[in-house]
């Protein structure tokens, strides 16, 4: 279902003027987002002022004139809320997303996301007020937390509890895999060497190797060569 990302009183949800915003790389995807926004607004009985959109140009810089127009409509009080098809479509930058959400909260603008699986922990589309309506800081805190984790990972900072796998074991597994060894063969070599699993088990299986290689530690180790 859709989610009210920024705090809003329940009474305000009943009669809002809204602008929509869609961002996509393919025309068909863009149309689908616009259609979804129109359906949501119609079902809720809101007044749709207009729908802004931006399409990827294929270059490194993506113009965001549509988003600029949507934010201008909110700033001029031509609309009370912004409805987006995808929360992640607001910006490709984690830090920019946090800044935008803070701006919404500071100006008491309402943000409704139809697909918030990536940003706020729900999925699907629906036609009723989101569970966070009037819930204070919780929506923004949740997005800030996810954004902060993503930013730290992007910067190469380890997130999570202490690593259980010793450096020499991690290095051995990563190097074996990089040389083309199969998961089952790596497990067999670890067993032959008498090395315990990261969880303290006495026998390695291909699944142990697969899970270890999928960790952020292994990805960072591969990157560091």
pLDDT at residue 133, rounded to an integer: 40
Q: What percent of the chain has pLDDT over 90?
A: 31
| Cα–Cα distance, 65 to 71 (Å, whole number) | 10
pTM exceeds 0.75, yes or no: no
% of the chain residues with pLDDT over 70: 66
Based on the domain organization, do 20 and 131 belong to the same domain? yes
How confident is the model over 7-27, as pLDDT tens digits?
Answer: 555 656 778 899 999 987 777
- Residue 132 has a pLDDT of 37
Mark which of 109, 125, 154 sits at the end of a domain.
154
In terms of domains, do 187 and 113 share one? no
pLDDT of 194 = 93
- How confident is residue 35, by pLDDT bands cut at 50, 70 and 90? very high
Residue 108 counted as domain residue: yes
Asked if residue 161 is part of any domain, the answer here is no
3-state secondary structure the chain: CCEECCCCCHHHHHCCEEEEEEEECCHHHHHHHHHHHHHHHHHHCCEEEEEEEEECCCCCCCCCHHHHHHHHHHHCCCCCEEEEEEHHHHCCCHHHHHHHHHHHHHHCCEEEEEECCCCCCCCCCCCCCCCCCCCCCHHHHHHHHHHHHHHHHHCCCCCCCCCCCCHHHHHHHHHHHHCCCCHHHHHHHHHHCCCCCCCCCCCCCHHHHHHHHCCHHHHHHHHHC
Length of the chain: 225
Q: What is the pLDDT of residue 203?
A: 92
Mean pLDDT of 162-181: 86
Give the SS3 label for residue 23.
Answer: strand
The predicted pLDDT at position 62 comes to 47
Q: Which two tokens stand for residue 44?
A: 């809720």
More confident residue, 42 or 155: 42
In a domain, 74, yes or no: yes
Q: Is residue 125 included in any domain, yes or no?
A: yes
Between 182 and 138, the more confident residue is 182
Strand partners, 111: 82
Comparing 140 with 44, which gets the higher pLDDT? 44
Q: Are residues 198 and 150 in the same domain?
A: no
Q: Which domain holds residue 191?
A: 167-224
Q: What is the CATH number of the domain that holds 98?
A: 3.40.50.1390
Give yes or no for residue 76 having a pLDDT over 60.
yes
């Amino acid at each position: 279902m859709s989610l009210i990302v920024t705090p809003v009183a329940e009474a305000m949800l009943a009669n809002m003027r809204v602008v929509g915003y869609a961002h996509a790389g393919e025309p068909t995807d863009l149309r689908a987002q616009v259609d979804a926004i129109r359906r949501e607004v119609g079902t809720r009985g809101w007044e749709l002022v207009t729908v802004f959109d931006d399409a990827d140009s294929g270059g490194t810089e993506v113009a965001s004139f549509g988003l600029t127009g949507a934010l201008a409509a909110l700033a001029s009080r031509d609309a009370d809320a912004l409805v987006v098809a995808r929360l992640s479509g607001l910006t490709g930058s984690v830090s920019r997303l946090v800044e935008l959400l803070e701006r919404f909260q500071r100006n008491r603008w309402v943000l409704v996301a139809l697909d918030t699986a990536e940003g706020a922990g729900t999925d699907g589309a629906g036609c009723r007020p989101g569970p966070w309506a009037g819930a204070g800081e919780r929506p923004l805190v949740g997005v800030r937390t996810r954004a902060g984790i993503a930013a730290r990972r992007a910067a190469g900072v380890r997130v999570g509890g202490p690593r259980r796998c010793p450096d020499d074991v991690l290095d051995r597994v990563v190097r074996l895999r990089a040389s083309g060894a199969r998961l089952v063969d790596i497990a067999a070599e670890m067993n032959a060497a008498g090395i315990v699993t990261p969880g303290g088990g006495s026998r390695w299986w291909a699944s142990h190797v697969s899970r270890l290689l999928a960790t952020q530690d292994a990805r960072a180790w591969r990157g560091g060569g």
